[in-house]
Amino acid sequence: MGRIRASLESDVFPALGSRPMVSLKAREVMEAVKAVEARGASDQAGRLLQRVKAIYRWAVTHQRIDTNPILDLVPSEILKPRTVQHRAALADKELPEFMRKLAAYDGSPSIVLGLRMLMLTACRPGEVRGARWVEFDRKAALWTIPAERMKMREEHRVPLSKQALEVLDKIEAISGGRELVFPSPYYPSKPLSENTFNSALARMGYKSIATAHGFRALFSTVANEHRWNPDVIERQLAHREQNEIRAAYHRTTYIADRTKLMQWWADYLGNGGATPEQ
């Protein structure tokens, strides 16, 4: 609730907060929402409109006002379509050859094993590069990424497959006594640089064909094609749920399902794209 109130105090109250709800026009609410969009926060603008609409629905239900002037305001109709940046990603059919090239790649263990962890967890590159040993519970096979390291600023729990645990066993010989799991080979107290994974992919012959972030798209595509629950997939990817009630539910569930999914995915990768039993 604190986040919701903060968004209202920042983006609605200054312009409209002193006015009675009954006196506001749809145009005025729309202008407040579009002002948020204009500063580049299109997702936030959409959520803001939904929150204001929820307040108006509550007011009508509890007979504080007779009509809802913003009932017909729909985010998709008043806000510009979000521009999605598509990053180069491997196609499923390219996976067997890629796995062979990765196995033969003679780069730094931090880079090679970091790439493996990236693929095995479907995490964002920055989450893997910044991984700390204290975040891992190997007995529970769980990686807990703190909120401050997540794009959405929410703690994310990542189930670890047997193969991901093997990666940790291998990298421990190199970085086990340090803070970072995948340190820079040149500056061990610092994480791998932002472009490290993509540079390695380019040296493997995948420049403009694959990116580190694109492994998430590959995971999503393959898992969806094999009919895994889309909600489980989205939760594993730590995508933000726009519906706030569903978001609260998603934060507390799906660990068991995601554990099964990630072991299936690790086996799929290990088989070079051959389908293990689901």
The answer to whether position 86 is within a domain reads no
Concerning whether 239 is annotated as a catalytic residue, the answer is yes
Residue in 145, 121, 120 with CA at minimum distance from that of residue 134: 145
Concerning whether 157 is annotated as a catalytic residue, the answer is no
Catalytic residue, chosen from 116, 124, 129, 250, is: 124
Concerning whether 62 is annotated as a catalytic residue, the answer is no
pLDDT, residue 96, reads: 92
Using a cut of 0.95, tell me whether the model's pTM lies above it. no
Q: Which range of residues forms the domain containing residue 19?
A: 2-78
Extract the tokens encoding 56: 């108006």
Question: 123 with 10, same domain?
Answer: no
Concerning whether 240 is annotated as a catalytic residue, the answer is no
Model pLDDT for residues 99-110, shown as the tens digit of each residue: 999 999 999 999
Question: 147 with 106, same domain?
Answer: yes
Count the Cβ atoms, other than its own, within 10 Å of residue 243. 10
Domains in the chain: how many in total? 2
Question: 105 with 232, same domain?
Answer: yes
pLDDT, residue 256, reads: 93
pLDDT, residue 77, reads: 76
Catalytic residue, chosen from 47, 116, 156, 216, is: 216
Residues of the chain with pLDDT under 70: 1-3, 81-87, 240-253, 273-278
> What are the φ and ψ backbone dihedral angles of 185, each rounded to 5 degrees?
-70, -15
Model pLDDT for residues 190-223, shown as the tens digit of each residue: 999 999 999 999 999 999 899 999 999 999 999 9
Residue 151 near residue 161 (C-beta atoms within 8 A): no
Q: What is the CATH number of the domain that holds 67?
A: 1.10.150.130
Question: 73 with 122, same domain?
Answer: no
pLDDT, residue 193, reads: 92
Concerning whether 250 is annotated as a catalytic residue, the answer is no
Catalytic residue, chosen from 51, 53, 157, 213, is: 213
Concerning whether 249 is annotated as a catalytic residue, the answer is yes
Extract the tokens encoding 149: 């390291």
Q: What is the CATH number of the domain that holds 194?
A: 1.10.443.10
Question: 119 with 257, same domain?
Answer: yes
